[in-house]
Structure 1
Amino acid sequence: MQICTVCSKQAPKYKCPACKIRYCSLGCYKNHKDACLPVESKTSEPEEKTKLSSERWTVEDLLHEDDIIDKVPIQKLQLLGQSTELRDLLCNPHLRRLLQSIDTAESKDDVMKAAMQEPLFVEFSDQCLKILENESKALLAHKGKDS
């Protein structure tokens, strides 16, 4: 099990977007951010293009058992990573910046409300839900055939 890189006391729930260290709380982030040394790209490609092509996020990077009450099963979340439509949307740098601002916001509710006013974010959200709903319908249809 991992422990917080800053305080070495608790399990980390978050990852610094700049240097990728793991930390457990806002207090640890505040302590860390002054000494943060961002990880530099190894290639000369533009940063956003490099992140999109070389950085592969896993579900475990984004979701921790204790973080969320209403959870989507990991198997369904993995379908999002297999969607070409979703990947095409994520090529948009404006959408990626918007998602990063939501992820790093202290008041996620307020930032989410603002994001829902952005047509691009609504399109992204709708695509995620469509993928998850289609999988649920397919499972129900399959179970109906087995009965």
Structure 2
Amino acid sequence: MASLNCSAAVCVICLEKPKYRCPACRVPYCSVTCFRKHKGESAALRSLLLNPHLRQLMVSLDQGDNKAKLMRACMQEPLFVEFADCCLRIVEPSREEDS
């Protein structure tokens, strides 16, 4: 069992007191159930990040001068919108998914 030093840490899935950390990304989680959910979310994001077109969009956005204009252009790309939605589902799950 991996011990957690930070008493303020909470499980990234259910916000309970964590007992473990993900071996891949080190985020705290409290149970096998929460780890499996986290792993599933991470797998979806990883799958998207394997796409070379998405990776090129992100590099262009990162290296561009006018980031606001580039972001508006990227948000017209369905692949980038799918990526953004996936990220948002991970950081702010909808209430329907929780039930």
- TM-score w.r.t. length of structure 1: 0.37
Over 4 Å off, 4+ runs: none
CA displacement at 1:99 relative to structure 2: 0.3
Higher alpha-carbon Rg: 1
Whether 1:85 aligns to 2:44 is: yes
What is residue 113 of structure 1 aligned with on the other side?
Answer: 72
Shift of 1:116: 0.3
2:62 maps to amino acid: D
Structure having greater relative contact order (Cα 8 Å, sep ≥ 6):
2
Provide Cα deviations, 1:7-39, integer angstroms capped at 9, x if missing partner: xxxxxxxxxxxxxxxxxxxxxxxxxxxxxxxxx
Aligned to 1:123: 82
Aligned pair partner of 1:104 in 63, 66, 70: 63
SS in 2 for 1:106: coil
- 5+ residue gaps, structure 2, are 1-24, 29-37
Alpha-carbon shift at residue 98 of structure 1 (Å): 0.1
What is the RMSD of the two structures over their aligned residues, measured on CA atoms?
Answer: 2.7
Structure 1 vs Structure 2: percent identity of aligned residues?
52
- Residue identity matched to 2:45: L
In the alignment, structure 1 segments of 5+ residues that lack a partner are 1-57, 59-73, 142-147
| Deviation (angstroms), 1:128 | 0.2
Give 3-state SS (helix, strand or coil) of 1:83's partner. Answer: helix
Name the TM-score, length of structure 2 as normaliser.
0.53
Aligned length in residues: 61
